[in-house]
Amino acid sequence: MRGRNEQPGDAFEWLVTISSSFGMGATAAFIFSIERVNPELQFAVTYKTWLGFGVVGWLTFLACRALFFAPGDENRSGAVRRRWFLILAILGLGGSAASMAYSLRGVSSAKLTEVGIGVLLAVFVLSILSLLLIRTIHFLNADQERNALSPEDLTR
């Protein structure tokens, strides 16, 4: 059941919107539930946990809606979409960094160094995995274009 402005491919965009909203909200809730890190890790579900989930989830939902379902979407260029995506990525990274800094308040400088090294290592590994994923996507897109050609096109 589609609305009047929805296109046939919009189901995937809805899936991305809902799952991103829930995932970002759950991540914010997890980070805000951290009460103490030193000497042991303690969690507590408080109003900050629920507020963080709601606010971050709602902002992510609105941002995804603006990215995928903006009015005049059929005339929207790829450059505009890339700009919105870049803005959302920067806001997501900034929010994650702020939430992590909030969670690590009161931690000794020696432990902060260990956490910093762990974060840098995680960013490095995730960057390599992202690069491999992007290369795989490019390969599959090129392969799909090759497979779409007729045998006569391949002999020319």
Domain ranges of the chain: 6-106, 108-150
Question: In this model, does residue 41 exceed pLDDT 90?
Answer: no
Q: What's the confidence (pLDDT) of residue 1?
A: 43
The identity of residue 34, as a single letter, is I
> Is a pLDDT exceeding 80 seen at residue 6?
no
d(CA 96, CA 27): 9
pLDDT at residue 95 greater than cutoff 70? yes
The pLDDT score that the predictor gives to residue 121 is 93
Q: So what's the pLDDT on residue 142?
A: 84
**Residue 108 — φ and ψ, nearest 5°?**
-65, 155
pLDDT of residue 147: 76
CA distance 41 to 85: 34
Judged against a pLDDT cut of 60, whether residue 74 lies above it is answered with no
pLDDT at position 54: 92
Query: Average pLDDT in the 36-63 region?
Result: 84
Spatial neighbors of 26 by CB under 8 A, at least 6 apart, are: 53
